[in-house]
Amino acid sequence: MASRTSERRRGPPDASPTVAVVGLGYIGLPTALLLAREQSVVGVDIDEEKVADIRAGRLPFEEPGLDRLFADVRDRFRVQTTVPDAVDTYLIAVPTPLDKLTDVANLSYVRAATETVADALDPGDLVVLESTVPPGTSEQLVQPILDARGPSGEIRYAYCPERASPGDTLHEMVHNDRVVGCADEATQSRIDGLYEFVEGENFLTGPTEAEFVKLMENTYRDVNIALANEFALLAEDYGIDVQETTELANEHPRVNVHYAGPGVGGHCLPIDPQFLTQSSTASQLVSTARDINNSMPVHALHLVRSLLSETNVFEQDSLPQVTLLGVAYKGDVDDTRRTPALKLHRLAKNEGYDVRANDPHVEDFEIPLESMTDAADGSDCLVVVTDHDHYTELDPDEIGSAMRHRNVVDTRGLLDADRWRDAGFTVRRLGDGRR
């Protein structure tokens, strides 16, 4: 929707909430706080510890501008563990993980949230689902629950997926266009009123179409990353540098090749293609792209193994020690969901390596994290996994003085390779077949 002057006035601190946001994760919490700029909002999450932290002013994750926004709207935002029944709009933004055993969407959180919301509805209320779901979820799961458990009377429903990326969430939530999946223009009008903070445009379609669009967008990116990764593997075979060739290819006005990396992480890109294809057999390209991206941590370890062999590290008596630089799935965020660093860590441990890890943005992770100094102490090889700006500022001489062997594998093309070579490092970059 185009930017416009809001007719709603900010409610006083004691105003009754008009919107309940169910699920206070990476999407639900920023959405709730943006809504609270103009109205009173209640945030709901079943995680009692998370609710207690938010009440105490401790936000559960790092996101630029989120602390400031929270401080600005705190008098219009409260949190609790139960769904209220005194609001007229319910926005559901709960997790939709991929089941590890079946590779099928786990919709238990969506089902539970929908059932709880349905019990609190009054005729005329609006229910909006933002969680990423397989096509058909609205029509086959959510709406039947609302019809069966909700009140007899008209309930407005819409599927309205977010388009936001960690590290730029607030800006993208405000400025990006949205796809609204609903049955009629009357419901879209309610959506326009709800998302008054959005300066982009709303595009109206059906719920299943909107679910499909959301999955198409992230599948497109996953396939393009897979193509970039395959280009990197080919470049190594041909003895050329894929970064250089990618830059030249992208000079073509209709070409935009992505850059290669050690794998794909985050909640969306590794999962959405599987949500899209789980009920279809027509998925050869999408499935192949997933296989390529899932294989990249294996290739990263191959580069490490090859470099350690070339520099005679395996001839020493002690176990090779490697240091992972970054465990977040992307640069300058603290989000570690489905990070390729975890697979790389486990593969290296399985081969007998002593593996250390550092990340300037992440506090809690499945493996111990150390300071840069401790993680590099006695290391035989640094492995750049995450493209944090912090790592571009490292002093190779200082880091190298603490290491046993000066080796570095750069899976992101992040470092100034000449600078590190001048400091005595043997450098290998993903996609660079030159020696």
User: Residue 110 to residues 23, 48, 107, 139, 232: CA-CA distances in angstroms?
Assistant: 10, 19, 5, 13, 39
Other C-beta atoms closer than 10 Å to the C-beta of 325 total: 31
Report how far residue 338's alpha carbon sits from residue 26's, in angstroms, rounded to the nearest whole number: 14
Is the CB of residue 132 less than 8 Å from the CB of residue 268? Answer: yes
Name the packing angle between helices 340-350 and 284-310 (round to 10°).
50
Report how far residue 289's alpha carbon sits from residue 272's, in angstroms, rounded to the nearest whole number: 12
Residues 6+ apart with CB under 8 A from 329: 264, 265, 266, 335, 336, 337, 338, 339, 340, 341, 386
* CA nearest to 172, candidates 275, 316, 27: 27
Residue/partner pairs of 72-76 with CB below 8 Å, 24 or more apart: 72/37, 73/33, 73/36, 73/37, 73/41, 75/13, 76/10, 76/11, 76/13, 76/15, 76/36, 76/37, 76/39, 76/40, 76/41
Cα-based torsion angle of the residue sequence 82, 84, 89, 92 in order, rounded to the nearest 10 degrees: 10
DSSP 3-state of 239: coil
Residue whose entry in the numeric block shows the structure tokens 């111990």: 368
Is 214 tagged catalytic?
yes
Other C-beta atoms closer than 10 Å to the C-beta of 286 total: 20
Cα 124 to the center of its chain, rounded Å? 34
Options 268, 330, 343, 381, the catalytic residue: 268
Options 50, 160, 182, 214, the catalytic residue: 214
Q: 350 is written with which tokens?
A: 């399985």
Provide the annotated active-site residues.
Answer: 214, 268
